[in-house]
Amino acid sequence: MRGPVSVPILTWVGTMVLAGGTAFAQVTPAAGYTPPDDTPTVKVGGTIYADFTYTDKPTSVDADGNVIHPSAFDIRRAYINVTGSISHLVSFRITPDVAPHLTTTASGLPTGARFSTNLDGSLTVRLKYGYGQINFDDFLTKGSWLRIGLHQTPYLDYTEGIYRYRFQGTLFPEREGFLGSDSSDFGISAHYNLPSNYGDLHVGVYNGDTYTKPDPNDQKAFEVRGSLRPFPMRRGLKGVRVTGFYKADSVVKHAARDRFIGNASFEHARVVAGFEYLDAKDRASATKPEVHARGWSVWATPKSKIGLEGFLRYDSLKPDTAVDARRNRTIVGAAYWFHTEASPATAALLLDYEQVKNDSALNRPDEKRVSLHCLFNF
């Protein structure tokens, strides 16, 4: 006589169902579907750029007519970042930009640089970012989206994410006034991440006059940036990226304001480096001649294991190719990045020396300054 039937066999037999004389095994139900989390969220953070700058050149004159070397403590940027989501498909950001009510008190400064006084002891508030975002993660690659409102333009925000030293000063195209405060503008844009981390594409239509000015005309700026990561999985080379950016805009009808930038960058645990080439064409009005400018910038930040970093940058610009004159900028510094447990929490100090030399045909004074820059991001 056979022994008792084992429990596993009994269980299997028990799952057999006779239907029309045919036995069918019970099918194990599929794993449960977990829907995306659509709980609305809100997060609040902030960014502060603080510094002290001593200017050796150019000198200035105080109220009594004394020749002085300007020096000032300043807040270059103070952001309150409010970000969140309405659902997994819809998110938003609101960022007021808080700054002193300033007036420039020295001449001959680079574009975007100010040595200023607070006019009335108050602060001014303007909107830097205010946009809604529709996420396409359910349909396209993760990180693909559509933004509407006051938001990042394709080039500067992307490059600053690699550069990391925006708290020292603006990037070369912005420093020389060719992109203005072009990190943010009113418009609509779309972003697409290439599969397998090979790069991304960002294209948009904007007012073209940045977040600091109203749109003065009916002209709009078309901007597109494409970035390629040729070796996304190859050790030692996955930090290589090549980028092309083009901005087609007009001051008024038939008065072009076009920009092309080629960019190459490399990110590694011990060094981050980049190179930019700029080609810019400007026509102040349809009746004025075109001004063609060309220039380039190279920078590197060698890094240690203990938070210390070097900062090296050299810019060279020919503001008008019809005039044989250049402006060259050299920046040398040392930074310390405090250890933090998780992004976006960041804090850093940078001590740097900056020198700008202008050929005599440019009719601008040379510049020399020493600064201590501080970054606090949370």
* Structural Rg of the chain based on CA atoms: 28
Pairing of strands 221-228, 16-19: unpaired
Least confident range of 112-116, 244-248, 299-303: 112-116
**For residue 32, what pLDDT is reported?**
62
The average pLDDT across 92-121 equals 58
How far apart CA 161 and CA 99 sit, in angstroms, is 23
Inform me whether the pLDDT recorded for 114 exceeds 70: no
How far apart CA 143 and CA 129 sit, in angstroms, is 19
Inform me whether the pLDDT recorded for 258 exceeds 60: yes
Q: How many CB atoms lie under 10 A from the CB of residue 292? A: 15
The SS3 assignment for 173 reads: helix
**For residue 2, what pLDDT is reported?**
44
CB-based burial label for 98 (10 Å; 0-12, 13-18, 19+): middle
How far apart CA 79 and CA 97 sit, in angstroms, is 5
Least confident range of 157-166, 215-224, 275-284, 302-311: 215-224
The SS3 assignment for 337 reads: strand
User: From start to end of 194-289, where are the E strands?
Assistant: 199-206, 221-228, 240-248, 250-252, 255-267, 271-282
For 7-28+44-377, give the CATH class: mainly beta
Tokens 């829907």 -> residue = 35
Return the higher-pLDDT residue of 373 and 30.
373
Least confident range of 129-133, 137-141, 146-150: 137-141
Tokens 């036995």 -> residue = 23
For the chain, the average pLDDT equals 86
Give the model's confidence band at 17: pLDDT under 50 very low, under 70 low, under 90 confident, else very high.
very low
**For residue 268, what pLDDT is reported?**
95
How far apart CA 317 and CA 261 sit, in angstroms, is 13
Instruction: Decide: pTM greater than 0.95.
Output: no
174-192 confidence digits (pLDDT tens): 999 998 776 899 999 999 9
Maximum distance among all Cα pairs of the chain, rounded to whole angstroms: 120
Give the model's confidence band at 328: pLDDT under 50 very low, under 70 low, under 90 confident, else very high.
very high
The average pLDDT across 272-278 equals 98
The SS3 assignment for 243 reads: strand
User: From start to end of 136-249, where are the E strands?
Assistant: 145-152, 184-193, 199-206, 221-228, 240-248
How far apart CA 45 and CA 82 sit, in angstroms, is 7
Q: Which of 77, 74, 169, 56 is nearest to 117 (CA)?
A: 74
The SS3 assignment for 196 reads: helix
Q: Amino acid letter at 102?
A: L
Inform me whether the pLDDT recorded for 104 exceeds 90: no
Q: Phi and psi for 159 in degrees, rounded to 5? A: -70, -40
Give the model's confidence band at 150: pLDDT under 50 very low, under 70 low, under 90 confident, else very high.
very high
